[in-house]
Amino acid sequence: MRTVGVEEELLLVDPDSGEPKALSAAVLAHAAQDDPGQDVFEKELFGQMLEFATHPQSEMAALGAEIVRCRKEAARHAGEIGCAVAALATSPLPVSPSISVNERYQWMAEQYGFATQEQLVCGCHVHVSVESDEEGVAVVDRLRPWLALLCALSANSPFWQGQDTGYAAYRSRLWMRWPSAGPTELFGSAERYHRRVADMVATGAILDEAMAYFDARLSARYPTVEIRVADVCLRADTAVLVAALARALVETAAREWRAGRPPLDHSVSLLKLAAWRAARSGLEQDLLDPRDMRPRPAADVMRSLLEHTGDALTDCGDAALAEETVAELLGRGNGAREQRLLMDRTGSLPLLVAECVRHTQGE
């Protein structure tokens, strides 16, 4: 069974005002002092962010338990220095980001200018194991039309700089400002994939292969395909759903490749429109059906996703989890809908953030 690991980026906020706080260095120092051998928490681009990574897991129950534990540990370390963590993909309140002291991050700030300042966004990246680069690229080619649906499910960034953006996943629109981000054309082979990335690095516009911010890519560090389209999810169970579907999509794609079935040859232009539609609508309106790129109700398109991955979900023991969690999200809404409902109820962005802090900790 393929293993799955999750990386989550969390927002560090003032527990009273809800404003982001550039305290990641202090939180990391506390975590290192508390557990000198810890390798879970990492620095991110901005001081207002904290990242953690789970270990590779085969069972979704174990992955979910680790996500919950890591969130609670992050909350504990943050609380010790007077801040809190929130699983929010963008800050609802205005913020002036503080770039972390790091040679790589400084290079990015100089290279990309003001666009870097807009990247205080928190994502959820899923790593799924693959047997080889050849299998990995075959998977990447076949994942392309389905990735926008993971964005729609996880959408958790309706507010930006104190305003409602009108989007469910505005994080993805900000992320697309990186020059290497977004959907890719078909590669066809591992050799062509690596040649394309090398050509991108040779332009000088990106620093190295880790800066090829494709929606799905071969990991530069692990024998995995890394799927990078999801917002950090407000609730841990949504993150587990995204991970389960990501694994099922990878397994389904690998089976299609081994059976000699070609990938759907949708253009990058259509894939970008599907991604925009998912970011704009989340689960509230139509989405583009990956099979023919035509609009259909979100519930119908999610049914297509579950049907497409059905055999893999069943074989991994995740079919019931996926069915039930998708139904719950279609009923109660994703993080974006929950944030807007909180805003309607409280009329206060600081109170909204406070509620999201509690959701992040599972309360």
- pLDDT tens for 344-359 read 999 999 999 999 999 9
Per-residue pLDDT tens over the stretch 214-240: 999 999 999 999 999 999 999 999 999
Locate tokens 């389904």: which residue? 252
Per-residue pLDDT tens over the stretch 29-78: 999 988 877 778 988 999 999 999 999 999 999 999 999 999 999 999 99
* Res. 304 pLDDT band, cuts 50 70 90: very high
Strand partners, 262: none
Q: What is the pLDDT of residue 248?
A: 98
CATH number of 99-351: 3.30.590.20
Output b/e per residue, 211-248; b: 16+ Cβ within 10 A.
bbebbbbbbeeebbbbbbbbbbbbbbbbbbbbbbbbbb
The answer, as to whether pTM is greater than 0.85, is yes
Per-residue pLDDT tens over the stretch 113-169: 999 999 999 999 999 999 999 999 999 999 999 999 999 999 999 999 999 999 999
Cβ proximity of 294 and 288 under 8 Å: yes
* Res. 264 pLDDT band, cuts 50 70 90: very high
